[in-house]
Structure 1
């Protein structure tokens, strides 16, 4: 008899999640993983994400890669802080471990969560719980 499918943690509420990562295969895979429980939107472009938020789209959580070529996670966060301070508090940064001195300093000062790729669904869910609870 096959084991029962693993269900999402019962304390995790459904949320609107934005994924911003210029690594397309990772971003698409993460979106598919989250779609079982959430309304997940993916873009490889931080500029596009900022445009959506400027248009009034609201997200319960924003998963943003720290090191992107066009706009870094730090630049995205700074722009979002000016544009929509409440949304800027909903960022969870993701990293593959590559840091510049500037990004390392930013992460060390950060009060926002940071998760290292690759990560398990349970680890991400644990970071999402507090954001979705106040959604």
Structure 2
């Protein structure tokens, strides 16, 4: 039987980056429902500040946001926190636009397509947290672009 300390040891820290408060709240509920700790940032600039202040096991980030969008955030991570590049999952409703396709191909990270299904978010969350910093392990969700 798993004790309280075993459950606490399994808790991970997840950063949700989305300017839409209702989407961020739904994602936070899903992640907390899996027993993990959550912080929410409204844009990439806020997310970078949070990453400088704390360690995170996974980032769920929207692509289209004010101030610093998903691609800008990802590129900023290359110089400020490169260890996080393999711990990010993108969430977007724009997988058909050429700029989004080009970026998602460059980033080569899992994509959850909006509108998302909570079970798919849970699947990708579990897979990414189990995989740690490995790449190519978890694919895409909700019909998003496949990882290459």
Shorter-chain TM range is 0.7 to 0.9
- Report which structure shows greater RCO (CA 8 Å, sep ≥6): 1
Alignment equivalent of 1:30, drawn from 17, 27, 34: 27
Q: Please state how far the C-alpha of 1:21 moved relative to its aligned partner.
A: 0.4
Question: Which structure 1 residue ranges, 5 or more long, are not aligned?
Answer: 1-12
Find the counterpart in structure 2 of residue 50 from structure 1: 48
Q: Deviations over 1:38-67 (max 9, x none)?
A: 101112122111011122x11111000011
Please state if 1:18 is matched with 2:18.
no
Find the counterpart in structure 1 of residue 93 from structure 2: 96
Alignment equivalent of 1:123, drawn from 120, 139, 147: 120
SS class of match (1:69) = coil
Find the counterpart in structure 2 of residue 111 from structure 1: 108
Q: Please state how far the C-alpha of 1:120 moved relative to its aligned partner.
A: 1.8
Q: Deviations over 1:71-108 (max 9, x none)?
A: 11000000012111111210100001266532221112
Alpha-carbon separation, structure 1, partners of 2:86 and 2:112:
16
Query: Structure 2-normalised TM-score?
Result: 0.73
Alpha-carbon separation, structure 2, partners of 1:90 and 1:109:
15
Question: Which structure 2 residue ranges, 5 or more long, are not aligned?
Answer: 1-9, 134-148
User: Does the CA contact (< 8 Å) of 2:16 and 2:28 recur in 1?
Assistant: yes
> How large is the Cα RMSD of the aligned pairs?
1.9
Alignment equivalent of 1:77, drawn from 56, 74, 77: 74
Alpha-carbon separation, structure 2, partners of 1:59 and 1:95:
21
User: Does the CA contact (< 8 Å) of 2:31 and 2:122 recur in 1?
Assistant: no
**Aligned ranges 1:57-76 → 2 under 5 Å:** 57-76=54-73
